[in-house]
Amino acid sequence: MKKIWLAGGCFWGVEAYFQQLKGVAGTKVGYGQGHIENPTYQQVCSGKTGHTEVCEVTYQEEVLSLRKLLEHFFRIIDPVTLNRQGPDLGTQYRSGIYYADKVEKECILEFIKEQQVFHSEPIVVEVEPVKNFYLAEAYHQDYLQKTPNGYCHVDLMLAKAEEKKI
């Protein structure tokens, strides 16, 4: 199993999207890349902790390659908008890809370089080693499964459409 940490606006939609994909073994939502330990949702929303809302994705690389996972991620984010996804605005909603080993870094950077040709503005997705990841409060975990009509900026049907192609 491999892990990658993805920030793409509100973590509820990112988690719900990736939970639908074949090869994803598990997801958790939390706060990453900040400078205080175990922040609360309220602290992260203040914009003073440096954290972003992150979805930890555990996946089977032999079923879902890192490249394919990144294709899915870019399907649900706007990679050229800084500190915003959909109506979610603030540094906690910045987009990012956080990795655990240097081999992943090279794959991620190559993928972003390839994607840049599709955009007239620079891609602003952070690419960094995962610095930290703290689980979000229990009510945030699997939020859209618990709250089927809950808020989501991600078009979850994109995952279902992709599954039909496979």
10 Å CB burial of residue 14 (0-12, 13-18, 19+) is buried
Q: Is 10 a catalytic residue?
A: yes
Q: Phi and psi dihedrals of 86, rounded to 5?
A: 55, -135
Q: How far apart are CA 66 and CA 46, in angstroms?
A: 32
Catalytic position from the list 10, 45, 55, 107? 10
Can you tell me the distance from the alpha carbon of 62 to that of 34, in angstroms, rounded to the nearest whole number? Answer: 32
Q: Which of 56, 65, 76 is nearest to 15 (CA)?
A: 56
Q: Are 55 and 3 in contact (CB under 8 A)?
A: no
Residue 151, C-beta contacts closer than 8 angstroms, at least 6 positions apart: 10, 12
Residues 6+ apart with CB under 8 A from 130: 5, 32, 33, 98, 99, 100
User: Which residues are part of the catalytic machinery?
Assistant: 10
